[in-house]
A and B are shown apart, each in its own frame.
Chain A
Amino acid sequence: MNIVVTVKQVPDTWAEKKLDPSDMTTDRATVDNVLNEMDEYGVEEALLLKEAHGGEVTAVTMGPDKAVEAVRKALQMGADKGVHLCDASLHGSDALQTASALAKVIAPLNPDVVIVSSEASDARGGVVGALLAEYLGLPQLTLARKVTADPGGGTVTIERQTDNGYATVLGKLPVVVGVIEKINEPRYPSFKGIMAAKKKPLVTMTAADAGIDPGSAGPSGAYSEVDEAQPRPPKAAGQVVKDEGDGGAKLAAFLADQKLV
């Protein structure tokens, strides 16, 4: 199977996330950046599919120079090839532009399955996967907590997480599959994998290489725009309940007050 997995480099989960005040885009320069944790589940699922059915895994990212590290991490984990779409004109793209650009890169790869994770921990829009499927004109199976492929029969079946259980959904190849956290346990890259990654093919593409219209790229062509941002207000001091023999009753009253019980 020809499997494509999208990856993204994001500010480290523990880093303080900020917007660059000059253009209201994510500040990636002053923090440690890592592979989006959720994407590790996607890479792992792609590798599991490859291990079960053969084929090849290509990791694709769009982002600035350093974003290539996300692809490299996927290669270290075991992906076979990488593509990095990197162009200054793409800086500040919104979700629609990002999905459209990724589709331009992914479509020529003729994937059987495109794996995306449910969200990136920086913007947390959680929509790029769905938009990507639209731009690719492919069906999408989302919120997968289990994926089973039948390449012979040309289908993929997933268990789709719902509020109170799961639904079994079948889709025809080629298909976009969105995986949720905890679908698997992402492997640690093996040292052999780390050493082999350096020799794996990794292509860097410009917007022009990908056939992206320069006029449509960047903030000027964006469908959405961040006008203003406020840091989350600091946590208000908690309410201390003093136990004078009636602590239990007071706690219960508090919970009832908040409509928690």
Chain B
Amino acid sequence: MLDLTAAGAARAIAAGELDPTELFEAYRARAAADELNAFTWVADAAPEPADGPLRGVPLAVKDLFCTEGVPSQSGSRILEGYLPPYTATAVRRLEEAGATLLGKTNQDEFAMGSSNENSAFGPVLNPWDRTRVPGGSSGGSAAAVAAGLAPWALGTDTGGSIRQPAALCGIVGLKPTYGSVSRYGMIAFASSLDQAGPFTRDVTDAALLYRHMAGADPQDATAVGHPDTIALPSAQRLDGVRLGVPEELAGGEGLEPGVLAAFEAALQHARDLGAVIEQVSLPTAPKALSAYYVLAPAECSSNLSRFDGVRYGMRADADDLDSMYTETRHDGFGPEVRRRILIGTYALSSGYYDAYYATAQRVRTLIVREFEQAFTQVDAIVTPTSPTIAFELGSKTADPLAMYLNDVLTVPMSLAGIPAISIPCGLSEGMPVGLQIAGPAFSENRLLDTAYALEQVLEFDGSPARVGAGA
């Protein structure tokens, strides 16, 4: 029963062929015995599921989603043991649809990282090879789904934090259109970029989970929901579908040869299905990473100001207010979070605002326009998801810039607010490679169909990760 996809499990439960408590208990046992450090909290017992289309399907949720009475720490010491008094809208919607909270998953602290090595609760191991990282920041969710510790999981993506770990762990990850899923109850990293999305074993599950997450929210002024009902994908062919390959991103420069080879093989599959592959140009895309590493830190420097020791979380014992602030924030935040707060504070300072923040916003506007221009020419844009396969633990921790380069292919879509999905498209050195497909805002149905058609012919085998989990 652990081999069932989430959609399969939901069907079996609805048909009375599968007992939801038994299913939950099977996953709970695996999650509790997790050797990958993918979970930061696992439920004691199966909650009573609500009667809905996802009734009784266990769900793993990234630590940064607030869950009432359940530790929600965003991978940070400063929130160690924090129990929110309310549940994030996206999680609540899924619970109302019948999903049951299996556990909370490890992540980079406040979602800042690309390897899950920035967690206050230790790194997560890649189930394909435990000497390697699972990617980040949603590394726990990706590893849990890849290793079969959960049927599916929620993550968040700010600059690639769903797509990159999905790629490195050989599963499906969808970053939806910004504003289609409520951010209420997601402990913020960068408000204008953060977006919740699914980690799943296949594209159908991604569509199913996203269908029940999306929706406008009166508590999130930026959440407009999705104009369409999300359909379960069914396309078998891609006849006439135009796929654009941006030379600036997928031209080969900076990509590992094995990644490029898997990507090109995937393009050939697309052609075989009838798709037309075209070159497109996103001239400003190479500047996206620089703009992102101004804007995201700027927003985070402000978003993380609330962690001041006054009301909740950690508080350092100090003699006066200023020392209490300084010591709490010094001891409570890890080095990467402190680095980004410093960068962001600097970028917003009077005298530097125009040079950094305002310039980065202009770059963002250009990128939005260039994607819009490209989508007049093609239906979707395809790139590898990550320039490399999963790298060795500790190999990039000393060099932040090398680490930031992991996001070079995913950040442009984040800045543009458009949806992008990563599906596994092959192996390089025995490790999974992800294919990223991005479309115009709110084109998720089309994107899922394209990904589904490719998934059928790519026939990626994720079972080595489940075996490798060993639990």
The finding on whether chains A and B are genuine partners in a shared complex, rather than unrelated, reads no
Binding site for A on B (CB under 8 A): none
